[in-house]
Structure 1
Amino acid sequence: MEDYSIRGIIESVGSGQIRIPAFQRGFVWDSERVAYLMDSIYKGYPFGALMFWRTKEQLKFDRQLGPFALPDPKEDYPVDYVLDGQQRVTSIFGVFQTDYEPIQGEHTDWMDIFFDLGADETAQDNQFIALKPDQVDPGRHFPLRTLFDTTAYRAATEALEGDAIKIVDDLQARFKETKIPVQVTKTEEKETVAIIFERVNRQGVELDTLQLLSAWTWSEDFQLADQFEELSEVLAPFGFQGVGSDTDLLLRCCAAILTGDASPSALMKLNGAEVRKKFDLIKNGVQYAVDYLRNQFSVQKLDNLPYVTQLVPLSVFFAIDGEKEASVSDAQRKVINRWFWRSSFSRRYSSGVLRNLKADIEQMNNLRNDADSSLGGFATNVTSDFFLQHVFRISNVNTKTFLLLLSTKSPRSFISGQKVDLADTLKRANRSEFHHMMPRSFLERSGQKEPIGDSILANFCFLSRADNRKLGGEAPSDYKQKMPTDEAVLESILTSAVANELLWDDNYEAFVKSRAENLAVIARDLCQL
């Protein structure tokens, strides 16, 4: 831990030695918040230690300090990048420095901070105020920016008398004597910095890994954030624009494709030139993976996936150079599909995510290269209990898996008998597109709701709100009369919903247990168990 004086902060920032890295967000404090910081310093209240990363490697891209553009650091001098405390450093520098004017158009609400000589000195009330030039009363408002400039301080105190001079002299002394604790991490290893970021992030400080990696990969003609945005635009027509906005997911895909490891430390080991050179691999990997998910599993948007992380190993398989066409053999397709269903039903990415991802990435690479691969070889067990014990919730992993299973049977409308438009239905993927096969109101009237419960997976199917309204809350044997009368069409509807004629008996327990067994058989077949 090192101690910095306020003058030391001003001089180090002004010389370019303390800098704001691009992976930090911009300055967001308003003038009132800055004034409160000054009050805390003046009264000796704790306002937190700063955290610096000291390195001899200057980042290719960093951020200006609030509204102030700063000079480059001296050659061969270490640079201190602010990891935690950017708002405080910017506030301190902006309040007391006298050499820089705010850039026009930047932080136009920035105002100088003044000590209010007329304010009561209480523990709670703020004695500092942000003012525009036309609001300043020289006899009452003393400018803080003069405290560390001898000439300016002398000029500002000329109009003061008696007690006011004593108060201002004491004000200057308090700020000059203030020591600011700074925790300094000295390292040239970016992966170490990544770990620090992760831990700071856990403490509630917002840090952006994309901006960090952008700083290390930046060049005049390559900006990683822009590349991600372009990828999002390409995927948008297919309903996958969410991939582009999920930067954590895309960063994992980058690391997995280029390093074989999707962990945060792997991201920080990436060489900027390598990322730029091989970004086509990443774009192709993600785009072809999305295409595969749509064609093989009817996944129409990112939210349809049981786990968004399933995109990561899949993008590794499809990461190919340039304009090459992706190809999948029948044998590879069977292995990939088995892995997808097993990882979904086993909740593989609910815990041990990085460990499981690394194993799956390695085996996906082996599969792509026609080497021995154990992809999907982990334990999976699907029984009827999966459909009897889990409740239908549209955002739940188990529900998403269940809906994708149902989609493999090409579900049909209960009213028209026509195939459900899966592309449209799953793209919307809201609760109104799925309803109870045995209506809740019927189960309540007939006393069959307990103990099983009416919202288990085994009681749900693809059934639009419009169809559900037409069927009403009647017993299945009654709403059957509103369905197609052609026996072949009726049978195809039941089959596509993984149901049978037990539905018409109005016996809830018998129906859901039978349907759950049939669903489990399909699940085991998909998992090739």
Structure 2
Amino acid sequence: MQLPQPQTITFSSLVTSIEQGQIKIPQFQRDFVWTMQRSAGLIDSIIKGYPIGTFIFWRTKEQLRSVKNIGHQELPEPVKGEFVDYVLDGQQRLTSLFASLKGVKLIRDNGKTDDFARIFIDLDAKESDQIVITDIEGKDSQNLISILDLLIGNFMTLASYPQEYHAKLNTYKNRIESYQYSIIQVKDAPIDIATEIFTRINVGGKSLSLFEIMVAKTFDHDRKFDLSEKFQELLENLKPLNYETISDATVLQTVSIILSKECKRQAILKLGKDDFINTWERAKDSIERTVEYFRNCYRIPVSQLLPYNALIPPFSYFFFHHPDKPTGKQKEFLEDFFWRCSLSGRYSSAVESKLAQDIKRIDQILAEELPRYDWSVDTSEQFITDNGWFSAARSYIKAILCIYAYEQPKSFNDNSIVNIAIRFDF
């Protein structure tokens, strides 16, 4: 990564870069929330020559999931293989500038439309007054000019104003067009560094999750791959099976375990984009096979009853390499593995490290070899008495309930099978 260098860019270069698709707003940025009044204040600062802060761009050839449109402005996709500047800091200011200087109509989430062409300069205002305004009630239209008309209006439009305003019109237009915008480009940085910079800059906002980073990293427009959408599709597939509460973290662990046999944060961030995309469909299929196996073989009716979500990656790894039903010994060894992990508190801590260890055991099971375990499972009456205090959130209690579910207990009232999930409100 090269050390960032402060630079300046002119108004025309900034707008042109946006229009050509060279400057993009990555998906992990929050939505545009500035009001027209605040945007007017930004233009007012520019006209008065005040500093408006520095834009920080991440320059890269990586193609991320980005916000393509500002308002109704259809902006081109970046040219594949060329550098793109993704906005790490300043997207509210940048969007305000573009919307104000281009007269964009923005449709908000609540359905309200803000017409940024309705931002005006009060030609009667003094330098100490608010020059750029949005509230023009009671104002004489001869004393007002929109930012849009000021910048792109023809000679006749500007000449139609009284002579006394011509000097101001020329001055304000020159101030906007000659303003030097301060930028810093972060070059040749991997995505985890870029998102870390974003997180540190936006200290008042929400830190990016690993999933959000991987959504950005693995996005591929040509291959129509959007991890966020793919994850939602997976949950929709699992919903009829009552396993739709599987977390995005568990899914990332699964893909990483399949590709690298590790699932720590750094291991996930190192996954290649092409490898991730190429593996996704089979990884998704292995997760779905795991869910079916848990439901049909262990009779676990809902995902909330699983002692640990971390049980999904090793079983998915098994079904990735062995899509068919386990053979006799494989089935026996998998069941032994499941209950050893569930009843021993195996994944109560250091989950990523233990998963990496356990994948070696799954490899042994795939080879129909009995794994060696370096932890014990206490099933004594005394241990169960001491540790069996009830809380539906405890993994140990969930494991006990899974045993009950497997045995299919029957009601004393009508001899029907008791649904454990409904009984304990899972």
Matches of 2:393 and 2:78 in 1, distance apart? 50
Alignment RMSD: 4.6
Unaligned runs of 5+ in 1: 430-529
Question: Residue in 1 aligned with 2:215?
Answer: 211
Alignment of 1:129-528 (within 5 A): 129=134, 138-146=141-149, 148-149=151-152, 152=154, 155-156=157-158, 158-160=160-162, 162=164, 171-172=172-173, 175=176, 180-187=181-188, 189-193=190-194, 195-196=196-197, 204-205=205-206, 208-209=212-213, 211-216=215-220, 218-220=221-223, 222-243=225-246, 246-295=247-296, 297-320=298-321, 324-327=324-327, 328-342=330-344, 345=345, 348-349=348-349, 352-370=350-368, 373=371, 377-378=374-375, 384-388=385-389, 392=391, 394-395=392-393, 400-401=398-399, 403-404=401-402, 407=405, 410-411=408-409, 413=411, 419-422=417-420, 424-425=422-423, 428-429=425-426
Q: C-alpha offsets along residues 97-136 of structure 1, whole Å, 9 cap, x if unaligned?
A: 48xx7799999824125235299889998953289xx999
Matches of 2:372 and 2:202 in 1, distance apart? 35
Question: Matched residue of 2:141: which SS?
Answer: coil
Question: Residue in 2 aligned with 1:446?
Answer: none
Unaligned runs of 5+ in 2: none
With structure 2 as the length reference, what TM-score do the two structures score?
Answer: 0.73
Question: 1:54: how far off?
Answer: 0.8
Question: Residue in 2 aligned with 1:522?
Answer: none
Matches of 1:318 and 1:199 in 2, distance apart? 40
Between the two proteins, the alignment pairs up a number of residues equal to: 409
Q: C-alpha offsets along residues 11-44 of structure 1, whole Å, 9 cap, x if unaligned?
A: 3223332123456566565545544544566678
Matches of 1:308 and 1:126 in 2, distance apart? 58
Question: Residue in 1 aligned with 2:75?
Answer: 70
With structure 1 as the length reference, what TM-score do the two structures score?
Answer: 0.61
Question: 1:84: how far off?
Answer: 3.7
Q: C-alpha offsets along residues 151-190 of structure 1, whole Å, 9 cap, x if unaligned?
A: 658844751564x667666655664575544442212644
Question: 1:273: how far off?
Answer: 3.7
Aligned residues with identical type, % of pairs: 23
Matches of 2:319 and 2:173 in 1, distance apart? 64
Matches of 1:199 and 1:253 in 2, distance apart? 28
Query: Residues 194 and 268 of structure 1 are in contact (CA less than 8 Å); yes or no, is this contact kept in structure 2?
Result: no
Question: 1:220: how far off?
Answer: 4.2
Alignment of 1:12-23 (within 5 A): 12-21=17-26
Query: Residues 95 and 145 of structure 1 are in contact (CA less than 8 Å); yes or no, is this contact kept in structure 2?
Result: yes
One-letter amino acid matched to 1:138: S
1:121–1:386 CA distance, 2 compared to 1 (3 A)? farther
1:122–1:166 CA distance, 2 compared to 1 (3 A)? closer
Matched, 1:88 2:93: yes
The structure number with the bigger radius of gyration is 1
Matches of 2:74 and 2:347 in 1, distance apart? 50
Question: Matched residue of 1:241: which SS?
Answer: coil
Higher relative contact order (CA 8 A, sep 6+): 2
After alignment, is 23-32 or 63-72 more displaced? 23-32
1:5–1:195 CA distance, 2 compared to 1 (3 A)? closer
Question: 1:279: how far off?
Answer: 2.9
Matches of 1:301 and 1:183 in 2, distance apart? 50
Matches of 1:380 and 1:301 in 2, distance apart? 25
Q: C-alpha offsets along residues 399-444 of structure 1, whole Å, 9 cap, x if unaligned?
A: 6456446546655546567542225446x42xxxxxxxxxxxxxxx
